[in-house]
Amino acid sequence: MLLSLLIFLPLVYALIVMALPARFSRPVSLALSGLHFVFSLVLLARFDVTTADLQFVEQMDWVKSFGISYFVGIDGISLWLVMLTTFLTPLTILGSWTAITDKVKGFHVAMLALEATMIGTFLAMDAVLFYVFFEASLIPMYFMIGIWGGARRIYATVKFFIYTMFGSLFMLVALIALMFMTQEMLGGQMSASILDFYKLEIPFVAGQFLNSQTLLFFAFALAFAIKVPMFPFHTWLPDAHVEAPTPGSVILAGVMLKMGTYGFMRLGLPLFPEAVEYWSWLFMLLAVVGIIYGALVAMVQPDIKKLVAYSSVSHMGYVVLGLFAFNAYGLTGGLYQMLNHGISTGALFLMVGMIYERTHSREISQYGGLAKAAPWYTILFVIVTMSSIAVPMTNGFIGEFLILLGGFEANPIFGAMAVLGVVLGASYMLWMVKRVFFGGEGEIVTKYKSAGLDLNIREAVVMAPLIVLIFWMGIFPNHFLRGSKASLEHLEKNMRTYELGIHNPSQKDQSEKYSMAEERGE
Amino acid sequence: MNEQLLLGLLVVLPFLGFLFNGIRFTSKNYKLAGTVASTASGLCFLISLTLVAKLIGMPEGERVITSHFFDWFLAGDFSVSASFLLDPINAVMILVITGVGTLIHIFSIGYISHDERPSKYFAYLNLFLMNMLILVLGDNLLVMFVGWEGVGLCSYLLIGFWFSDPEKAAAGMKAFITNRIGDAGFLLGIFMLFLSFGTVTFSEIATRLPETAEMMWTGPITLACLFLFIGATGKSAQIPLYVWLPDAMAGPTPVSALIHAATMVTAGVYMIVRMSDVFVLAPLVMNVIAIIGALTALGAATIGMTQWDIKKILAYSTVSQLGYMFLAVGVGAFIPAMFHLMTHAFFKALMFLGSGSVIHAMADEQDVRKMGGLKKYMPITHFTFLLGWLAIIGAPPLAGFFSKDEILWYSFASPAGHWSLWVAGVIAAGCTAFYMTRLMCLTFWGESRVPKEVHPHESPVSMTFPLIVLGVLSVVGGWIGIPHVLGAIIPGHPPNVLEHWLEPVVRMLKPEHASAAVEFALMGISLSVAGISAYFAYDFYLVHKDRPTMVTKKLGGLYSLVSDKYRIDEFYFGRIINPLIDLSKGLWLYIDINFIDKMTYLASDMVKGSGQFLRSLQNGNLQQYALYISLGVVVTITYILMGS
Amino acid sequence: MPMTEAFLNVGLNHYLILSALLFTMGMIGVLMRKNVIVILMGIELMLNAVNLSFISFSSYSGNLNGQIMVFFVMTIAAAEAAVGLALAVAIYKRYKEINIRFFEQLRG
């Protein structure tokens, strides 16, 4: 019941918010989403880190004739992404306290619905269910950008929606093909369970494109590559981010992009091992191009938010590089970098939103000398910047280091090129920091200085947990890596024959299995 | 007290100081801030002394204190722990860092008293101290890298301390990014080492070295060393990445003394000495290091002769002296490199603080052309600066003489050395003597060119006290490393304490055909070169003041090339950075907007176009609908008839 | 006398071909012309072409069903003509226009 509650309680919260008058929307949704985070902590506490199997599994028939079921479960790969979602949602709601003034109720309903669909995506273990959540999450985000966005919001939101939808349709086709394949394997009964998919042996011919495994892999990969977004499918991202309201940007960058990389980890890599191995060079190449390209383009952006958006392209490139390096370092680093990016880019978007609320400008050239006018804001911003450019002792370093190590081991040339991104990353972030915070006073700073540009208490409360996490994850990464270690090792070691078992702590045979293994070992 | 606690305190104390001052960073109470920070630093010095005393108490060859704090992170078979290691190499380092650091903290109290943000300043200073200690104490490459980037960050923050000035902010940024280029190399070096040895811990690398070196092709080790050296060129301001250090003088002067002269910039040297076991396996890289070091020593010294900003002169002097250290490690003289690192820390910190005292007295004037005759206003500063001057030009028996001379000797006689390296070193020594004497003449001696509105005055005790201590150290600091040939003839036969101390842990390439006569001859040559060029400088800038202009006129283009710092900055900006920015703009406009986006529009336009076409069929004209129906009927009937 | 021969031996096919020709002419009128009145006339022509084939089938098969059908068709044709013409008149009175293109209100 735990996981179902985790998925559907936000929808109940949304109903509650809808039923109450608009003036209660903010506090009620903040309280409820905060409660939900506490609830997810219960999950974290009860999570068994020693096993790679799925835990807290729930399975129910949904469309029996096609083998589609309501099937949710959690393992080390999804654990932290779920936690990230429940963690960011209340912060985002608090962060948008004054930013959203129009249709407040609708906004919070969308926010909570979004939380439900995102958690659902990370927990679904049935391919169709996964697809449903994956797509359903587009809807609240579509409204969020389309209603509360900036001037070109309709263009941006339509572009965002159609782009991602386009990719997912290929995934749907591939999914159905896989379901037919299970029918053969299971002797007539179709199944959409991802666990059954893992058991498939999909024919693969090296060197050819037109064979089922390669085609299916690319169908999935296209959907995820657009979501991540990988170069050259990234152009929806800057538009969506620039037009989205602050909370939309935070959730989009913080969680939704990870659906793509999570999809690679959950479906792309284990389902099509031969194709992944054969084509990994292509994805590593695109990842490296994305890292460098994103960094270069970020460097010349005139708009802070667009700069951060392009930096996302660069950072997500690291994640993909790590995943396709497919060794323990790369996978661990990739997963860790997903969390890092969620926190540091989320924090960057929040902070950009905070200053935008006061000055209504994001033009870098209009700023300058902000450090004098807003010292606390500057301190936090610089800390987040350091996290973003992966200075040791912040979270970013652990992820980037492991990814680069993994990438370097898998392919020294790509690894070395990706290391260049470290330099470029520092360049664009620090150049922006210099132009915005240092130097002489910019026109916009002079104009709004008297109104007070520094953080207020509410904003400090929003930022505090993020800053704490930046250091916590940077100094004690083992606290976090512990949770996913078993799952990642399992994935790395059994790439060709990846399967997931279902963990049932109450069953006795678990301990028996271990003893049997020991006997065999002797 | 147990050692783990002490090692931990070395990091925790500065951190507490950082927190204390960082949280109340707006406070203008410079005395409180300075006292807290200096206390933290001073306690660290005491702890270092205690630890080093313990180390001395241990039997030779086993002088190692390790302390494991926690497992930092692990992934697969990569595991790294947050642990410290104290052995004779970094014992020298922590003494220098905390000792000189404490003096500079004390000096800063006076220096920063008029500033708006003294607490912030001291917070950064303590943060730097913490990171520097992490750097030298780390027992593996990763912990070292933490400090490595951490000091870079502090350097960035402190150079840009007066961030309202866009140039200073830009200097900070430049320092960080240039360092980052080096750091990227360092990272690659770590990767190579890890993939070759399966570990990043110094002690384990050392134990696995013999077997790995036998089994493996040396390519990876050579590459790893090369990458690590790139890292060192960034941090220690060597060609081609030295450009940030002169700009870094934008920071407060005590910072220049601490970070950009005494401690941080020597991190590269320390790293190579720490990894000396590995580096000696890559003779090619050693040669590269020696050549780069010699070139840097020479190039920076020549630039130093043409500068007018007192801090810039000292900055190029630092680059040049760092070049000496790299020359030393490149020829396998790791111990002399550490020796020079230490003596340089004393006299260069002394001179930077002295220049700080001068700048403070001159109301922030840094141009030596507007100084002169300061001797009578600032006797203590002048006297201590004089000691520093003598030390750096290598006047016996001051600190610089011993260390520099040993480096020159090794560069000549070591198996990895070459006479050309020695020649470069001697010329650089001559240049050094010239520009330092020039600095003395222009600043302290001769008649005063001080503008009337400025009233130079001696600095307060808090500033002169560190100068005196460092002055003493600049004199006696070299006596712990007296070369054997000199030790043999000096009464009492003082041993080479430092070499004895470091020998068990540092690999050295010993000169093969050591001959005392040759060593004395070389020593004599380098001494006389330094003496002659010092005399020339004295003659140029005090006696015949028209000669400098004459000479520069004669040199013409060459002079302007040197005084424009070989136009390296212009080259970097014009050929690398600006094209890169243009390229990025091009990528954004032509690839992103005009190509990728256009392609997606093309796809959507196709969908839209087909929609338009279908829409034109659906035009509301019933007659046309009927026509379609009848055409359909005709086609269907034809098909049926044909089919049958 | 092959000519008279041809006229004497008028068979079912002849009627059907005539009917098809008439139907096609009517249909072309309906589909191509723009004048509402002409379109109505085309419809009448089509209906009568159908009637002709009904009658000829009926006559040749000796079955009266076809002829009965024709009566229905004629009735409906009359009704249709009445309603159609009335509409045409009404439209003309309102818009002073009987060009069918003028009334493309359903254009997508």
Structural Rg of chain A based on CA atoms:
23
CA distances from A327 to A403, A478, A493, B71 (A): 9, 18, 9, 21
CA distance B628 to chain C (A): 10
CB pairs under 8 A between A and B: 131
Residues of A in contact with B596 (CB under 8 A): 232, 234-235
Domain check: are B454 and B603 in the same one? Answer: no
**B45: how many CB neighbours lie within 10 A of its CB?**
20
* Distance of alpha carbon A80 from alpha carbon A75, whole angstroms: 9
In this structure, is residue C86 part of a structural domain? Answer: yes
Give residue-wise pLDDT tens across range B622-634: 778 888 888 999 8
Chain B hits for A301, CB-CB cut-off 8 Å, are 588
Range in A241-245, A516-520, B56-60 with the lowest mean pLDDT: A516-520
Question: B554 and B593 share a domain?
Answer: no
Tell me: the pLDDT tens digits for B248-271?
998 899 999 998 888 999 999 999
Cβ distance of C31 and B620 shorter than 8 Å = no
**pLDDT tens for each residue of A3-24:** 999 999 999 999 999 999 988 8
Q: In this predicted model, what pLDDT tens digit does every residue of B84-110 receive, in sequence order?
A: 999 899 898 999 999 999 999 999 998
Calculate mean pLDDT across residues A493-503.
84
Q: pLDDT tens, B520-529?
A: 888 889 889 9
Residues of chain A in contact with residue B78, where contact means CB-CB under 8 angstroms, are 328-329, 402, 405
Position B301 confidence tier, pLDDT thresholds 50, 70, 90: very high
Cβ separation A300–B173 shorter than 8 A: no
Same domain, residue pair B579 and B549? no
Window 596-625 of B, Cβ < 8 Å to A: 596-597, 600, 604
Q: Which of B476, B261, B464 is nearest to B382 (CA)?
A: B464
Say if residues A466 and A91 touch (Cβ distance below 8 Å).
yes
Residue B411: which H helix or E strand, with range?
helix B399-413
Residues B537, B438 within the same domain: yes
Provide the residue ranges of all domains of chain A, joining segments of one domain with +: 294-495
Comparing CB atoms, the residue among B165, B166, B585 nearest residue A300 is B585
Nearest CA to A346 out of A265, A262, A241 is that of A241
- Supply the pLDDT for residue A510: 46
Kindly state whether residue C35 falls inside one of the protein's structural domains.
yes
The encoded tokens of residue B243 equal 């450009």
Q: Write out the two tokens for B481.
A: 């490393």
Determine whether the interchain pair C107/B619 forms a contact, defined as Cβ–Cβ distance below 8 Å: yes
The predicted-structure confidence for B550-562, as pLDDT tens digits, reads as follows 888 888 788 888 8
- Whether residue B591 is contained in a domain is answered as yes
pLDDT above 50 for A511: no
Query: Which chain C residue shows the shortest CA-CA distance from B611?
Result: C108
Count chain B–chain C contacts defined by CB atoms under 8 A.
28
Q: pLDDT value at position A516?
A: 37
Q: Do B556 and B631 reside in the same domain of the chain?
A: no
Query: Which of residues 151 through 190 in chain A touch B, CB cutoff 8 A?
Result: 162-163
The predicted structure's pLDDT at residue C106: 54
Would the CB atoms of A391 and B78 count as touching at under 8 Å? no
Task: Sort A45 into a burial class: Cβ within 10 Å, 0-12 / 13-18 / 19+.
Answer: exposed
Q: What chain C residue is nearest to B630 in terms of C-alpha separation?
A: C27
pLDDT greater than 70 at residue A521: no
Q: What is the pLDDT of residue B482?
A: 83
Chain B residues inside the 8 Å CB shell of C30: 623, 626
Given phi > 0 = left and psi -120 to 50 = alpha, else beta, which region is B491? beta
Asked if residue C108 belongs to a domain, the reply is no
Over 70: is that where the pLDDT of A309 sits?
yes
Amino acid identity of residue B386, one-letter, is L
Q: Chain-wide mean pLDDT for chain B?
A: 88
pLDDT at position B644 is: 67
Q: Are both B383 and B516 inside the same structural domain? A: yes
Instruction: Say whether B621 and C32 touch across the interface (CB within 8 A).
Output: no
> Which chains reach chain A with 3 or more Cβ–Cβ distances below 8 angstroms?
B
* Contact between chain A and chain C (3 or more Cβ pairs less than 8 Å apart): no
Determine, for residues C32 and B618 on separate chains, whether the beta-carbon distance falls below 8 Å.
Answer: no
pLDDT value, residue C2: 62
**B454, pLDDT greater than 90:** no
The pLDDT of B581-598, averaged and rounded, is 88
Q: Which residues pair with B367 in a beta bridge?
A: B309
Residue B58: pLDDT band (50, 70, 90) is confident
CB B96 within 8 A of CB B342: yes
Give mean pLDDT, residues B57-67: 86
Give the separation between CA C69 and CA B464, rounded to whole angstroms. 127
> Are B427 and B488 part of one and the same domain?
yes
- Strands B78-86 and A55-63, by their bridges, are unpaired
For chain B, say whether C105 makes contact (Cβ under 8 Å).
yes
Task: Check B619 against C108: CB less than 8 A apart.
Answer: yes
Chain C partners of B623 at a C-beta cutoff of 8 Å? 30-32, 39, 100
The token duo for A364 is: 């870098």
The reported pLDDT for the residue numbered A190 is 87
Interchain contact C/B (3 or more Cβ pairs less than 8 Å): yes
The CATH number given to whatever domain includes residue C35 is: 1.10.287.3510
Residue C82: inside a domain: yes
User: For residue B100, what is the enclosing H or E element?
Assistant: helix B88-111
pLDDT at A204 over 90: no
- Give the closest of B25, B26, B587 to A293, CB-based: B587
- Give A124-182 pLDDT, tens digit per residue: 999 999 999 999 999 999 999 999 988 888 999 988 998 888 889 999 999 999 999 98
Span A375-410, pLDDT tens digits: 999 999 999 999 999 999 999 999 999 999 999 999
Which among A257, A178, A172 has a CA at the least distance from the CA of A219?
A172
Q: Residue B148 contacts by C-beta under 8 Å, 6 or more apart in sequence?
A: A392, B135, B183, B186, B231, B235, B267, B271
Beta bridge pairs of residue B378: none
Q: Which residues of chain C have pLDDT under 70?
A: 1-3, 6-7, 104-108
Cα diameter, chain A: 78
Q: Which residue of C has its CA nearest to B612?
A: C108
What is the reported pLDDT for B94?
92
Q: Which domain holds residue B555?
A: 347-563
Which residues 434-473 of chain A have a CB within 8 Å of chain B? 434, 437-440
Answer whether B192's CB lies under 8 Å from B263's CB. Answer: no
In DSSP notation, A261-273 reads: HHHIIIIIHHH-H
Across the interface, whether the CB atoms of B622 and C107 are under 8 A apart is answered: no
Q: Do B72 and A477 touch (CB under 8 A)?
A: yes
Locate the chain B residue with the closest alpha carbon to A336. Answer: B75
Residue of C nearest to B615 (CA): C108
Claim to verify: residue B591 and residue B513 sit in the same structural domain: no
Q: Is B618 on the interface with C (CB under 8 A)?
A: yes
Chains with ≥3 CB–CB distances under 8 Å to B: A, C
Range of the domain at C83: 2-97
Q: Does A299 touch chain B (CB under 8 A)?
A: yes
In a shared domain, residues B509 and B601: no
Nearest-Cα residue of chain C relative to residue B619: C107
DSSP for B439-495 reads HHHHHTSSS----TT----PPPHHHHHHHHHHHHHHHHGGGGG--HHHHHHSTT---
- Check if A211 contacts B (Cβ < 8 Å): no
Choosing from B498, B528, B563, the residue where a domain stops is B563
pLDDT tens digits, one per residue of A445-487: 888 888 888 888 999 999 999 999 999 999 999 989 988 888 9
Q: Which of B613, B623, B633 to mutate to test the interface with C (most CBs of C within 10 A)?
A: B623
**Residue C106 in domain:** no
Instruction: Give the nearest chain C residue to B624 (CA atoms).
Output: C31
Interface with B, mutate which of A297, A432, A436 (most B CBs under 10 A): A297
Q: Cβ separation of C31 and B627 shorter than 8 Å?
A: yes
B160–A430 CB contact, under 8 Å: no
Residues B154-170, mean pLDDT to the nearest whole number: 90
Cβ contact B402:B478 at 8 Å: yes
What are the φ and ψ backbone dihedral angles of B400, each rounded to 5 degrees? -60, -30
Angle at A471 between CA A492 and CA A351, to 5 degrees: 105
Q: Are B498 and B406 in contact (CB under 8 A)?
A: no
Residue in B620, B623, B624 closest to C105 by CB: B620
Taking all residues of chain A, what is their mean pLDDT, rounded to a whole number? 89
Total count of domains within chain B: 2
pLDDT range class, residue B145, cuts 50, 70, 90: very high
pLDDT of residue B388: 92
The CA dihedral of A420, A423, A424, A429, to the nearest 10 degrees, is 150
Supply the pLDDT for residue A120.
94
User: Is there a single domain that holds both residue B635 and residue B550?
Assistant: no
Residue A303 contacts B where some CB pair is shorter than 8 Å: no
**B526 plus B377 within the same structural domain:** yes
What is residue A515's predicted lDDT score, i.e. its pLDDT?
A: 35
- Which of B257, B192, B264, B268 lies closest to B224, judged by CA? B192
State the CB neighbour count (10 A cutoff) for residue C19.
20
Alpha helices in B112-165 (DSSP H): 118-137, 141-159
Q: What does the pLDDT average to over B506-532?
A: 84
Q: How large is the greatest C-alpha to C-alpha distance in chain B, in angstroms? A: 127
Q: Is some CB atom of chain B closer than 8 A to the CB atom of C98? A: no
* Tokens standing for residue B224: 């790893």
Amino acid A380: pLDDT: 94
Question: Are residues B511 and B419 part of one domain?
Answer: yes
Residue B417 confidence (pLDDT): 85
Q: Which residue among A297, A397, A420 places its CB closest to the CB of B584?
A: A297
- Contact residues, C window 22-51, toward B, CB-based 8 Å cutoff: 27, 30-32, 39
CB–CB contact B626 C30 (8 Å): yes
Q: Which residue out of A427, A437, A454, A492 would a mutagenesis test of the B interface target, given it has the greatest number of B Cβ atoms within 10 Å?
A: A427
DSSP B573: I
